[in-house]
Amino acid sequence: MKIIAKQFSRKLGFTLVEMLTALAIIAVLVSLIIPALSLVHKSADMVRQKSQFHSIGIGLEAFRADFGDYPESNDNFLEPDPLLLDRYFGAEKLAEAMVGQDGFGFHPNSEFRRDGYQTDTDEDGNDEPLYKPEVDEYIDDKFPPEDVEREKRENLAMRKGPYLELETANAVRLKDLYRPPNLFIAPIYEEFVLADVFGVVRHLRTGKKTGMPILYYRANTLNFEHNPAGPFDENIYNFDDNKFIIDLSPPWDSLASHPMENDPGIFYENTRNPNFDIPPRPYRSDSFILLSAGPDGLYGTGDDVFNFDEAE
| Cβ neighbours, 10 Å, residue 78 | 15
**Kind and range of the H or E run holding 305:** strand 305-306
Q: In 196-296, at which residue ranges do the beta strands (DSSP E only) sit? A: 201-202, 209-210, 215-218, 272-277, 280-282, 288-292
Q: Is 101 helix (H, G, I), strand (E, B) or coil?
A: coil
What does the alpha-carbon distance between residue 200 and residue 307 come to, in Å, rounded to a whole number?
A: 20
Burial class (CB in 10 A: 0-12, 13-18, 19+), 260: buried
What does the alpha-carbon distance between residue 128 and residue 149 come to, in Å, rounded to a whole number?
A: 21
Q: With the C-alpha atoms ordered 77, 81, 84, 85, is the resulting torsion angle positive or negative?
A: negative
What does the alpha-carbon distance between residue 58 and residue 257 come to, in Å, rounded to a whole number?
A: 32
Question: Helix H segments across 68-124?
Answer: 90-99
User: For every one of its 312 residues, what pLDDT tens digit does the chain have, with 9 covering 90 and above?
Assistant: 455 555 545 555 668 777 778 777 787 777 767 665 555 566 788 999 999 999 999 999 999 999 999 999 999 886 654 555 578 999 999 999 999 988 999 988 888 988 776 555 556 666 555 555 554 544 455 556 676 677 778 888 889 989 999 888 999 999 999 999 888 888 889 999 999 999 999 999 999 999 999 999 999 999 999 999 989 999 999 999 999 999 999 999 999 999 999 999 999 999 999 999 889 999 999 999 999 999 999 999 999 999 998 655
What is the pTM assigned to this prediction? 0.81
